[in-house]
Structure 1
Amino acid sequence: MTTSFHTVAADAAQPPHPAKKPHTVKAPFGAQRQDEYYWLRDDKRENPEMLAYLKAENAYVDAQMAALKPLEDKVYNEIVARIKQDDSSVPYRERGYWYYGRFEAGKDYLVYGRRKDGAGVDAVSIQQANGAADFAGEQVLLDVNALAAGKDYYSVGDWEVSPDNNLLAYADDTNGRRQYTIRFKNLATGETYADAIAGVSANLVWADDNKTLFYVENDPETLLTKRVKKHVLGTDPKLDPVVYEEKDDSFYMGIDRTRDDRYIVIHVSSTVSDEMRYAPAADPSRFTVLAPRTRDVEYGADHFDGRWVIRTNADGATNFKLVTAPSASTSRKDWKDWVAHRDDVFVEGVELFDGYAAIAERSDALERVRILKNDGKDEYVKADEPAYSMGLDANPEPGTPWLRYSYTSLTTPATVYELNVQTGERRLLKRQPVLGGYDPSQYVTERVWVPARDGARIPVSLVYKKGFRKDGTAALLQYGYGSYGASMDPGFSVTNVSLLDRGMVYAIAHIRGGQEMGRKWYDDGKLLRKKNTFTDFIDVTDYLVKAGYAAPDRVAAYGGSAGGLLMGAISNMAPDKYRVILSQVPFVDVVTTMLDASIPLTTNEYDEWGNPEQKKYYDYMLSYSPYDNLSKQAYPAMFVGTGLWDSQVQYFEPAKYVARLRDLNTGKHPLLFRTNMEGGHSGKSGRFRQYRERSEMFAFMLGQLGLAGDGTAAATQ
């Protein structure tokens, strides 16, 4: 077999080399480390030398990618051609209106709208109307295209309609830092009020009086959620009273209304503990603690049918169980088991209805929905593929026998069904349209189990085009995350089709640190067992290559955020096993970041990574931190991306990482570093801009894997 790989011309621009400036990072117990690129950190994003370096790196990417620009454009055009530009979401009914979001052809942002319920108006009929030019009866809530006009970045994080349906509160972000401003609109007149509340999270709850809004204020430095405040429309936000303030920086905070709309709740949550407060929505003057926080006891509660229904891991229920408590409960002593704990089933959530409950569960790394009726009978919603993703969809009104749920797989586009729990009838409400002749029958998905080096069995979801041969010649893109208990379920990707059509295999490694296999799967991939995440990913690569899914010199790996930590770790530990690494907004400077409590998210995550002020955690984190473990060796080709305004993984982590990697890398493969100067953790705003960024990254990868031409021939040579 012969494969031609894309190489960069010898006279291409040279990579930038930022200055080294001595800096000592000290730990409380006396440990010291040198960080010659620490100066690249500028919390105000104003340092001219730092900005010049980032711009120089971007210019270097432009020069290096010039030869692949036609491929980037081709991939981008393929992706966009699959997208129905005037698409819309499935409408859901709430308080007499059908709500939805829709795109207009050629525009980047959603239009949020609603239509009043009535004869001939339902989810299906509105979707059909949304495909036409005439939106008869529509009331536009927010035209995000108009709001975003003239802005480099714009995002609406959350919006809520008042109980009387007349007022809209929404939170917007204009730089990607997830520091939102709340604004108010009169839906009857279209007037936007002068009230504007800055420095908040995107979390809003109306009280029953239709003039009082509860919101969460962020700390201006750490950006942590700190205080719940209430605002009365028409008053000065500076005078808004504090309803609750959280003193412990290891807790996040959120607010909501219960299923029966009876209570407003405040939920504070750390990695290992929860506490909830509740107050009547009709008179939210005093909040009562449902159950005091206790370390290693997690819980979340909803109120319906005169009782609290609580999901918790209390009393050794590591995979969680459901308990109930009276409406006036203030103690765990009141909790009574309802759905028992099981070692082989992880309870993810529950939605309560009149006469039944829908329980989101996970077993053998697959999601399922269990319908539990009030008479004790239960059944499972059926699935038709070996690897899929299934979950509860929007079900805002409990008084219906129709349960709405979502379904997707690596070959099946996102689908929304309704199931009548009384008759068993199932209705297809919508399947994500994929244009350009996409035929799911021409692709194959499968689930394999990979033995880890310590005996654990790692589930892996795979997809490839029909006719693929496991002869060890193909190119593979392997994706992973493996942190925070976040499960990376197999779902359809409109972008990955461009890879599959070029003969590539796409694999999701459901490694430890996620929660695909239950809570123990998460616990075995965090704190002092974090390295299981990295070795699992490498073991999956070894298995897939040995099984013939990929050539050993044509494996690419992809991860972002904490998945970027994974990319940094595997490229240090096993650089010879990967030809290309794609790393987006990577968390790569673990020890320095976790030593600095002023950085957003740090204190919240001591129970995820460990507190480096304690030597045992410091030493363990230092043993895998990608930035600290870079060494003189040959590294794979890499494409690293970040956002200047990222508040979750600060831009300076990947900037320092790339600078030091350039110093130490003895290999000849390209290293590219792209900074989105207007975006944050999620990249640029707008519907299609994300696909431009993805296309550039994919073009880089395809060039390195010998797929810069027509693809199919190169993949099978």
Structure 2
Amino acid sequence: MASTPPLPPIARRAAGDDPYAWLQERDTDAVLDYLKAENAYQEAQLADQAELREQLFEEIKGRIRETDLSLASPWGPWLYYTRTTAGDEYARHYRCPRPADDSPTVDEQHEQLLLDPNVLAEGGFLSLGAFSISPDQQRLAYSLDTNGEETYRLYIKELSSGAITELPFEQCDGSMTWANDSQTLFFGELDDTHRPWKLYRHRLGSDIAEPVFEETDGRFFLHCYRASSERQLILLLNSKTTSEAWVLDAETPLGDFTCLAPRVEDHEYYPDHGQLEGQWTWFIRSNQAGINFALYQAADTGQVPGREQWQTLIEHRQDSMLEGVTLNARAYSLSLREGGLPIIEVHPQGAAAYRVQLPDAAYSLYISDSLEFDNPRIRLRYEALNRPAQVRQLSLADGAQVVLKETPVLGPFNADDYLSQRLWATAADGTQVPISLVQRRDTVGTATPLYLYGYGAYGESLDPWFSHARLSLLERGVAFAIAHVRGGGELGEAWYRAGKQEHKANTFSDFIACAEHLIEQQLTSPAQLVISGGSAGGLLIGAVLNQRPELFRAAIAEVPFVDVLNTMLDPDLPLTVTEYDEWGNPQEADVYARIKSYAPYENVSAQAYPAMLVIAGYNDSRVQYWEAAKWVAKLRATRTDDHLLLLKTELGAGHGGMSGRYQGLRDVALEYGFVFKVLELV
């Protein structure tokens, strides 16, 4: 006799405007019992996939070189690198003497193990925050989060003896910044809303830390870092729309930080310190001349230059977003974005500027390692949807490139077997929205299952990236696409602003337009279309499911920001106040109405929804676990369909999910198994 399939958990509905608010009562038996019941239901519903999930796990793992060495980075007399070993969840950190020929060749006979996270994790969650070698290279400062809450413990390791000291400080943000005396450390403290708000100075050998700076405005985060020149320490205070920087000579760490330019609302600027034509110079990337940023320089005369002393080095460009600047004694390099693509423009000292040339039409590119300040080369990371990541060495003087390392794909793989394309959908207001698409060449010309991913917030750019795991989709005939919707940064600052605050609805309509375009072009069909997004991308998924559920067969939402209205109404929650610049403050009546009009939790209605898999992290400090739990509870009580609706809460993880690399692969296998089940591909 066949066993009776398990019934889904039905959450208790309480009285009041928010009947599932009781799920916010963390650590109570009622909440934990409900989350565990949902986990058990999810496991039971996917129990028939146990063999497939194991097959997927082994398949994905089989493409990855489990024992591998990172490309070593030179610093002074040493090369620093990591090594992954088969069976280990985390990479180990090493160094070895630098070869006389200045090659990146590792000397395994004389290598020194610096840190082994596999031992530190003890089988549980582990996130390494800071990993910072002191300027004299005698000590390692590192920080650890052992539960996913993104609160860190601080440690100092003496590299000559191996002795480890845990620093006696609580509520640390994980940052650790050395001064040049290799005895003074700066670190940040979190406030009650999990915001880095205080900077402390600590001298090795003492049990105390001196408060250096306190940021009282809840919109602003505090961050301290070393300038490219290694001669200055920079304290950056920034909200989503405004920034302010304070600087301190790294040789005099007991001195006071000096403000570079007092904050002015909506003025963002980001300083660094380097050389221009052989002279020490401040470089400042600022939006004072336009939203796409310009680059300014001010001579380092020993005094901190006022804003009136900034001189234009690179003018504001209407068609080009200046996203970042990398400094080197031999050149400064601009990270630009034009037409939805990243571009590196190099300005060598005493020579004409040039742009880095690349082989693909749609790709991801960024400067991965500027190496030492006085080095004639930098390293670029380059990849595409069908091309594994490469580390390319760039000669700054002439632009010559050498591929130093390509991430291997074990087993049968040929990049040319996959077609990578850039498509354009037309949004409701006529805006052209880019889509990046990859599929197996032998599926071109037919409607295929398609996995569509989106994010669309904070100005973040989803540049096309390669994935070993994704090959398991592509090989089963599933195409993969990224919708580069407004709210992201793919087409510059204006693209971001057109998808935030009062324009947030564009993010959702853009995604729907991308889905409709893929269907109209007969690349897929509603019965074959799966959508996915995480965090703010989970908000996107929740919103479009309420608006157009019939367009999709299935949806995956990871740590989804779906209870956005209630979260933004609670200033005591982590991140809420600083998020006002992104979403608005719902204490204002018009903002309240606007957010309520699209908030996924509020807008669940009595209609048929596609199959859904929702993932949450119980220790997530960015998107609280209850957002997903409340959303699923309301969906269960309201929807009119009987499609799969599954909630998995990682009870020992945070915003990024489980921390180990094999644990991460098993999470992917679970999601892909869900996709194949719903699409009836297995």
Q: Structure 2 length as normaliser, TM-score?
A: 0.97
Q: Give distance in 1, aligned partners of 2:373 and 2:90.
A: 31
Partner of 1:223: 194
1:545 pairs with one of 519, 527, 541: 519
Output the amino acid matched with 1:144.
P
1:323 aligns with 2:293: no
Q: What residue in structure 2 maps to residue 705 of structure 1?
A: 679
Work out whether 1:303 is the aligned partner of 2:273.
yes
Shift of 1:375: 3.3
Determine helix, strand or coil for the equivalent of 1:658: helix
Distance 1:617 1:234 in 2: 51
Aligned pair 1:694/2:668, yes or no? yes
**Which residue identity does 1:197 align to in structure 2?**
F
Query: What's the counterpart of residue 35 of structure 2?
Result: 54
Q: Identify which of 460, 474, 477 aligns with 1:503.
A: 477
Query: Offset at 1:194?
Result: 4.4
Q: Which residue of 2 aligns with 1:421?
A: 396
Tell me the SS of whatever aligns to 1:107. coil
Distance 1:69 1:22, change over 3 A: same
Pairs within 5 Å for 1:345-424: 345-375=320-350, 377-424=352-399
**1:138 and 2:111 correspond:** yes
Partner of 1:28: none
What are the equivalent positions in structure 2 for 1:664-679 lying under 5 Å apart?
664-679=638-653
| Aligned partner letter, 1:511 | V
Q: Find the counterpart in structure 1 of residue 311 from structure 2.
A: 336
Deviation at 1:68, TM superposition (A): 1.7
Using the alignment, how far apart are the partners of 1:139 and 1:505 within structure 2? 44
- Aligned partner letter, 1:446: Q
CA deviation after TM superposition for structure 1 residue 482, in Å: 0.1
Give 1:38's aligned residue. Answer: 21
Q: Is the 8 A contact 1:526 1:609 kept in 2?
A: yes
**What is the letter of the counterpart of residue 325 of structure 1?**
A
After TM superposition, give the deviation of residue 400 of structure 1 in Å.
2.1
Runs of 4+ off more than 6 Å: none
Q: What is the CA–CA distance in structure 2 between the aligned matches of 1:88 and 1:292, rounded to whole Å?
A: 45
Residue 169 of structure 2 is matched in structure 1 by 197
Which ranges of structure 1 fall in alignment gaps of 5 or more residues?
1-8, 24-33, 130-134, 709-717
CA distance in 1, matches of 2:358, 2:642: 47
Question: Any idea what the Cα deviations from partners look like across 1:348-378, whole Å, max 9, x if unmatched?
Answer: 1111122321111110101111111233611
> 3-state DSSP class of the match of 2:171?
strand
Q: Would you say how many aligned residue pairs link Structure 1 and Structure 2?
A: 674
Partner of 2:574: 600
Matches within 5 A, 1:226-245: 226-236=197-207, 239-245=208-214
How many angstroms does 1:423 deviate by? Answer: 4.0
Bigger CA drift: 397-406 or 522-531? 397-406
Partner residue of 2:238 out of 264, 269, 273: 269
Equivalent residue of 2:110, what SS? coil
| Helix, strand or coil at the partner of 1:413 | strand
**Counterpart of 1:29?**
none
Tell me the distance in 2 between the aligned counterparts of 1:93 and 1:229. 30
**2:603 is matched with which residue?**
629
Distance 1:136 1:676 in 2: 41
1:201 is paired with a residue of what secondary structure? coil
**Where does structure 2 lack aligned partners over 5 or more consecutive residues?**
none
Question: What is the CA–CA distance in structure 1 between the aligned matches of 2:3 and 2:438, rounded to whole Å?
Answer: 37
Counterpart residue number, 1:211: 183
What is the CA-CA distance between 1:685 and the residue it aligns to? 1.2
Q: Which amino acid aligns with 1:277?
A: W
Q: Distance in 1 between matches of 2:198 and 2:13?
A: 41
CA distance in 2, matches of 1:330, 1:658: 54
Counterpart of 2:425 (choices 450, 460, 471) is 450
Range with bigger deviation, 630-639 or 14-23: 14-23
- Give secondary structure in 2 for the equivalent of 1:685: coil
Task: State the SS of the aligned residue for 1:291.
Answer: coil
Mark the CA change 1:67 to 1:573 in structure 2 (over 3 Å): closer, same or farther. Answer: same
The aligned counterpart of 1:514 is: 488
Among residues 54, 60, 76, which one is paired with 1:79 in the alignment?
Answer: 60
Whole-angstrom CA distance in 1 between matches of 2:531 and 2:351: 46
- Bigger relative contact order, structure 1 or 2 (CA pairs below 8 A, ≥6 apart): 1
Shift of residue 551, structure 1, vs aligned partner: 2.2
Relative to the length of structure 1, the TM-score reads: 0.92
| SS of match in other structure, 1:54 | helix
| Cross-structure match for 1:640 | 614
Q: Provide the rounded CA distance (Å) in 1 between the counterparts of 2:249 and 2:213.
A: 15
Identify if the C-alpha distance between structure 1 residues 324 and 103 changes in structure 2 by more than 3 Å, giving closer, same or farther.
same
Map of 1:713 onto structure 2: none
Matched to 1:148, the amino acid is A
Cα deviation 1:515-537 (Å, max 9, x = unaligned): 10010000000000001000000
Structure 1, 192-201 or 568-577: larger mean CA deviation: 192-201
Shift of 1:10: 8.6
Residue 137 of structure 1: how far off its partner (Å): 1.1
Q: Per-residue deviation at 1:120?
A: 5.1
SS of alignment partner, residue 526 of structure 2? coil
Q: Deviations over 1:163-192 (max 9, x none)?
A: 111011101001001001111110000011
The answer to whether residue 448 in structure 2 is matched with residue 465 in structure 1 is: no
Tell me, in whole angstroms, the C-alpha distance in 2 between the residues paired with 1:645 and 1:657.
Answer: 18
2:629 is aligned with 1:655: yes
- Give distance in 1, aligned partners of 2:352 and 2:332: 11
Q: In the TM superposition, what whole-angstrom CA distance separates every residue of 1:57-106 from its partner, at most 9, and x where no partner exists?
A: 00000110011222212211111111111112211112221111111111
Which runs of structure 2 are paired with 1:3-18 in the superposition (5 Å)?
11-18=4-11
Distance 1:423 1:318, change over 3 A: closer
Maintained 8 Å contact 1:631/1:664 = yes
Alignment partner of 1:281 is 2:250: yes
Instruction: Quote the Cα distance in structure 2 between the aligned partners of 1:10 and 1:106.
Output: 37
The residue matched to 1:541 in structure 2 has which SS?
Answer: helix
Paired residues of 1:98 and 1:122 also in contact (CA < 8 A): no
Are the counterparts in 2 of residues 321 and 339 from structure 1 also a CA contact under 8 Å? yes
**Residues 184, 196 of structure 1: 8 Å contact kept:** no
Is contact 2:258-2:304 (8 Å) kept? no
The answer to whether the Cα contact below 8 Å between 1:580 and 1:637 also exists between their aligned partners in 2 is yes
2:48 is aligned with 1:67: yes
User: Which amino acid is the alignment partner of residue 412 of structure 1?
Assistant: R
| Structure 2: distance between partners of 1:262 and 1:423 | 27
CA contact (8 A) 2:562 2:631 kept: yes
The separation in 1 between residues aligned to 2:215 and 2:678, in whole angstroms, is 49
- Whether 2:2 is the aligned partner of 1:19: answer no
1: distance between equivalents of 2:65 and 2:184? 39
> Helix, strand or coil: the match of 2:176?
strand
SS of the equivalent of 2:172 reads strand
Moved more, 461-470 or 485-494: 461-470
Superposed CA RMSD: 1.3
Match in the other structure for 1:172? 144
